[in-house]
Structure 1
Amino acid sequence: MIIADTVFLVVDDVDTMRKVNSSQLQRLGARHILTAANGAEALALLRTRKVSMILSDWNMPVMDGLTLLRKVRSDPQLAMLPFIMITAESSRAQITEAIAAGVSSILIKPFTANDLSQRITRAMHHRPRLHSPPAITEPAQETKEEKYRPTLLVVDDVPDNLALIAGLFQDEYRVLAARDGRRALAICTSEPPPDLLLLDVMMPNMDGFELAQHLRSHPSASRIPVIFITAMSDPAAQLRGLELGAVDFVSKPVDPKSLHLRVSNLLRLVEQRNALQQEYDTMLELERLREEASCISRHDLKAPLCNILGLARNLLEGGNLLPRQLQMLQSLETDSRNLLGMIDMAGDIYKIETGHFELKPVAVELLPLVRRLCESARLTYQAKKLTIEVVAQNTNESTPVLASGDELLCFSLLNNLLKNACEAAPEKSRVRLTLTPTEPIELIMENEPAVPVGFRSQFFEKYASHGKSGGTGLGTYSARLLAMAQQGSLTLEVDDEANLTRLRLQLPSRN
């Protein structure tokens, strides 16, 4: 991977971590590295300096990493920048939030230069969905070492001690051995480093304490847990080892069973950390695949819809149609065009969910739109013999009911509500829509039956569905989302005595 010409921006509120991350980048070949102590400083730098990639800590004062990510993705000049989020402890909900905000990759502390290199490679190929379909990227190929058992490095200048300790673990783990501190240091600073170091203290040339000191100042090796194995019983020596980052002390002569349990417990924590990193990587990859599938689906749906539009237009231009046929073809053409718009609107839905949608309101004439949708619904659900009624209160045909919003969002919102009402309504029942030109404009939609008591609290939840075979649970969820995106509201009311479900939609008036 060639990163010499890449300009990195490292964002962390801890000066030591900025230096450590910069050092790791330099070891990978980076020559241009900028640093910032928080998200606000990073944004100021981004306004004045050209940056190729951002590596940001999550938890920071002034402006945290997630806020910085959202501001970067919402800025047209910065939106496509690769962004790697670095975190020590984040819940799955937080990771999901970062993915939704458009993070390129996620890296859990502590990490090695090899870990960082892999995430940089992925981030360079990633393109945020908010602005364009993601590039198709192959998951990073795992090396054989990543699939091996955890690696132990045993360091002791006495061959018998090396043989004894190595023999305890060679059936379960990959065991390396070193007879002096210099050789051990070379192994620990290689890629990938061992997962655990079993270290004697008293050794010639470089003792265990000196080796631990070198490890703690090295970007990759600083994460390696150290267990000291020593004959020293001096409390001051143990205190020094703990200050150098040792996680445990084991006294000589070694109790094999006790040492085995200590090592197993510690490596279990290491494996959990690695599994967590893999899980977060998988979550990110699945989200990219979902985005990819969504883009492909939208593309594949457009072709047949365009064919339908073309056929409808040819029939309309051909003439010799009965009035009812003309009306049906016009309705087919209109609905097909709206459906094409809804497919293109999928990106807007995603922006609304992630807080990146910007409404550009226009005057939307609601009464003709409601009537057109009702006419289409009568044709669609004619087998159920529904009575679909539109009541326009305090208005007439010459007085338009103008809402302030987006025409396509209004179409999708009303279409979802009407579809749900017609599907839920029993045969030969009534669906009633009452439009009132107040401020705000109010549309009330009523149908039988009343929403069951146990489902009312979930009515607007994503993927929640009741009583419909194959229902996605997205209709009412997206309808309320679209209402809120237009500065409106959508609420559920239930009349148990009349066995009615009533949806009350309010939208700002343009009058």
Structure 2
Amino acid sequence: MTVKAMDTTTEAAEAVRKPYSEMTVLVVDATDIVRETVVTMLRDMGFGQVLQAGNGEHALSMMLLKQVDLVLSEWQMPKMDGMELLAKMRADKKHSRTPFIMLSSIIEQAAVIQAIKSGVSEYVVKPFSAKILSERVLRAIEGPARSAAQKKAAGSSKEEPLQQQPLRILVVDDVVDNIQVISDILRKDYKVGAATSGEKALKICAAEPQPDLVLLDVMMPEMNGFEVCKRLKADPQTQHITVIFLTALDQTMDIVRGFELGAVDYITKPVNPPVVKARVKTHAALIQSAKEMRNQIDTLQDSFRLKNDVEQILQHKVKGALSDLQMTLKALEQGADDPATVRINTSSIRVSCSDLTQQVEQLLVLTKQD
């Protein structure tokens, strides 16, 4: 009864959902280059119209003029930050259910929980790849259960635990002997790949599975390391990949240029094995920590949604069915001598018991979710 009505409403809502090409997305971030990168990712996903705002106030003024189907917002911004924007949207009937994705480098658990409790649809830790963003956008729009079902139907397999996935490192150098030396140093602890040119490196980085870290020689023919790094960081598909330069150069300006292009460190050549191991281990730990934090955030979000789903079933469905049972039993007691009344109330009890059984089964399904 109640369940069927709810299911019908849900199916109707899903049936009228817009495809990406008909949706309007609003990207809110104070940094132009970050905003443009996210906009490019969304356009590549097929969204029809992608709007931009530099802060929460600007975003709200735009939403007064334009219907928005999805909001992606940085947390830390001037004038009005992402949390204030989220609070105002959730307090407004027009935007109370609009999917909202928080983009942030803040990874403290308390902050993430605060965002989840405030009504964020998804929480994405910076830096992120286009693939990660695409998955979170799908979850925010369709809901975690529906998006998971779609991925399963498309043949996606569940990821293995992070500890079973050694980090992937790509060594880029035009001298094969240099690649061999570095590979011998690292292959015991990491999955090591190689490229002998910048062009090959870019192709490998753009393909799946992507490397987590690139050890990139500066001095190469045709395309030097600076140009490779520049292209990696300019491409939304590869900008998240960590880059460490391999260089024989000891001039400060060259080192500074590498950092300005987005590299996180450099190793001088000829390489010293303990130094290579130490530098790579430091940044590998940061990469692994970020992966684990994303996994924890997903778990926090799923746990919070599960808790809400269970509370909704208990509060609105199980309690309602129990209340109906109590009223029916009372009516049955009062009309016990009337066969017609007994039949009607007995039938009503059967319906209530059937409803309760469905709700208990739904609760069991929810509690068994990973």
Bin of the TM-score, shorter chain as denominator length: 0.7 to 0.9
Deviation of 1:27 (Å) = 2.2
Does residue 183 of structure 2 align to residue 166 of structure 1? yes
**Which sections of structure 1, spanning at least 5 residues, go unmatched?**
128-134, 320-511
1:121 aligned counterpart, secondary structure:
helix
CA distance in 2, matches of 1:2, 1:193: 28
Give the superposition deviation at 1:101.
Answer: 1.5
Residues 112 and 136 of structure 1, relative CA distance in 2, 3 Å threshold: closer
User: Which one of the candidate residues 323, 327, 342 is aligned to 1:309?
Assistant: 327
Which is richer in helix?
2
One-letter identity of the residue aligned with 1:53: L
1:30 and 2:71 matched: no
1:229-257 deviations in Å (ceiling 9; x for gaps):
12223333223223223222222221112
Instruction: Check conservation: 1:11, 1:39, Cα contact below 8 A.
Output: yes
Please list the CA deviations of residues 94-135 of structure 1 after superposition, one character each: whole Å capped at 9, or x if unmatched. 2112111211100001111001001011101239xxxxxxx7
Residue in structure 2 matching 1:256, options 268, 273, 289: 273
1:288 aligns to what? Answer: 305
CA distance in 1, matches of 2:252, 2:104: 35
- Once the 2 structures are TM-superposed, how far is the Cα of residue 259 of structure 1 from its aligned partner? 0.4
> 1:466 corresponds to which residue?
none
| Partner in structure 2 of residue 236 of structure 1 | 253
Question: Structure 1 residue 112 and structure 2 residue 168: aligned?
Answer: no
Say if 1:85 and 1:105, in contact at 8 Å, map to a contact too.
yes
Q: Distance in 2 between matches of 1:307 and 1:244?
A: 68
Query: Deviation at 1:148?
Result: 2.7
Counterpart in the other structure of 1:122: 139
Match of 1:266 in 2: 283
> Does 2:169 correspond to 1:152?
yes
SS of 1:222's equivalent in the other structure is coil
Higher mean alpha-carbon deviation, 222-231 vs 18-27, is at 222-231
Letter in 1 for 2:240: R
How far off is 1:312 after superposition?
Answer: 1.9
SS at match of 2:270: coil
Count residues with an aligned counterpart.
Answer: 312
- Residue identity in the other structure for 1:51: V
SS in structure 1 at match of 2:87: helix
**Residue from 103, 106, 112 that aligns with 1:89:** 106
Residue type of the alignment partner of 1:303: A
Deviation at 1:192, TM superposition (A): 5.0
CA deviation after TM superposition for structure 1 residue 218, in Å: 2.1
In structure 1, how many angstroms separate the alpha carbons of the residues matched to 2:96 and 2:123?
17
Bigger relative contact order (CA 8 A; separation at least 6) = 2
Offset at 1:300? 2.2
Question: Could you tell me how far 1:317 is from its partner in structure 2?
Answer: 6.4
Q: Deviations along 1:439-482, whole A, 9 cap, x unmatched? A: xxxxxxxxxxxxxxxxxxxxxxxxxxxxxxxxxxxxxxxxxxxx
* Counterpart code for 2:127: P
CA contact (8 A) 1:114 1:192 kept: no
- d(CA) in 2 for partners of 1:246 and 1:166? 20
2:27 is equivalent to residue 10 of structure 1? yes
Shift of 1:2: 5.9
Q: Distance in 2 between matches of 1:88 and 1:197?
A: 22
The CA deviation string for residues 181-237 of structure 1, in whole angstroms up to 9 with x for no partner, is 011112223355321110111111101112122222222322322221122233332
Specify which structure has the higher proportion of strand: 1
Query: Structure 2, unaligned stretches of length 5 or more?
Result: 1-17, 152-156, 338-370
Q: Are the structure 2 counterparts of residues 189 and 61 from structure 1 closer, same or farther at C-alpha, using a change threshold of 3 Å?
A: same
1:143 positional shift: 4.7
Could you say if the C-alpha distance between residues 242 and 159 of structure 1 is closer, same or farther in structure 2, counting changes exceeding 3 Å? same
Q: What does residue range 387-406 of structure 1 map to in structure 2 within 5 Å?
A: none
Distance in 1 (CA, whole Å) between partners of 2:79 and 2:254 is 41
The answer to whether structure 1 residue 196 and structure 2 residue 213 are counterparts is yes
Identical positions, percent: 36
Per the normalisation by structure 2, the TM-score is 0.78
**TM-score, with normalisation over the residues of structure 1?**
0.57
Structure-2 residue corresponding to 1:39: 56
Give the match's secondary structure for 2:127: coil
Query: Is the 2:138–2:147 Cα contact (8 Å) retained in structure 1?
Result: no
